[in-house]
Amino acid sequence: MTVLIIDNENGIRETLKEMLQHRRGGTLTIEEADGVQTGLAKIASVRPDIVLLDVEMNDGTGFDLMNRVEDPCFQLIFITAYNQYAVQAFRVSAIDYLLKPIDPAALDAALDKAQGKINNQSLQNQLNILLQQFSGKNQAPGQIVLKDIDKTYFVRIEDILYCEAEGSYTKFYISNSEPIFVSRNLRSYEELLAPAGFIRTHHSCLVNPAKIRIYDRKTDCGTLVLEGGYTIPVSQRKKDFVIQFLEGR
């Protein structure tokens, strides 16, 4: 397996090379480049399996590089020192990333996830969503990328009915679609979907308020009825917040 490191900082490249050389399981060929131009040349010549790509370099950005790669046949992991908002953009697009300074355990986990093949069109669509997020500073995402064991889904935020916690997994209920199971916890999606107005009505439920059709007060805390007839519990702790939210819409 060939891993290409593209980063303008020599120290970062050396650190990553050392970590990769100590990685167990399989033989790695490690290549490196220091910018957009040299990175493009290396991609063409060595045809890497995985690219570790810096976001900001001296002759452009990692996005500039990817815009010039035709039919990417590798798996992509960005390297970034960006702030929390930018990290949220990576999460919305489901493109893997490593924060500087690089943590060895995080690198191992990212490489483990990158072992399988990436569908070329899927990667391009994910990049498009990522770039939309960066260009729309502080705006709610229009789409989110969800991955289960077999597939990658590109879901419009407005089509999400609600999200339900199931242990360390999250189950997405989508209008006119089958539910999608994702191996991330509900808390991480609460952070991602907050700019779109999603509210926590219960410790296990995150709801799209645009899909709420009825607030049923027959029980002590009440129940929300969503589009499609889905019923969502309201917890005692969240009851006042939910009522105030609905009355203020």
Note the pLDDT tens digit of each residue in 114-160. Answer: 876 655 567 888 988 998 887 765 567 789 999 988 889 999 999 99
134 vs 162 pLDDT, higher one: 162
Domains of the chain: 2-135 (3.40.50.2300), 157-247 (2.40.50.1020)
The confidence score (pLDDT) of residue 114 equals 87
Residue 203: DSSP 8-state: T
Average pLDDT over residues 15-41: 91
In terms of C-beta density within 10 A (0-12 exposed, 13-18 middle, 19 or more buried), how is residue 160 classed?
buried
87 vs 143 pLDDT, higher one: 143
Q: For 186-233, how does the pLDDT look when each residue is reduced to its tens digit (9 = 90+)?
A: 999 998 898 899 999 999 999 999 999 999 988 888 999 999 999 999
Average pLDDT over residues 170-187: 95
This prediction's pTM? 0.80
Bridge partners of residue 143, in order along the sequence: 156
The confidence score (pLDDT) of residue 101 equals 92
Long-range contacts of 73-76 (CB under 8 A, 24+ apart): 73/47, 73/120, 74/4, 74/43, 74/47, 74/48, 74/49, 74/50, 74/118, 75/49, 75/50, 75/51, 75/114, 75/117, 75/118, 76/50, 76/51, 76/118, 76/123
109's tokens: 């986990």
Q: Provide the CA 78 distance to its chain's centre, in angstroms.
A: 12
41's tokens: 């040349």
Q: Could you tell me if 57 and 7 are in contact, meaning their C-beta atoms sit under 8 angstroms apart?
A: yes
The confidence score (pLDDT) of residue 125 equals 87
* CA distance from start to end of the chain: 54
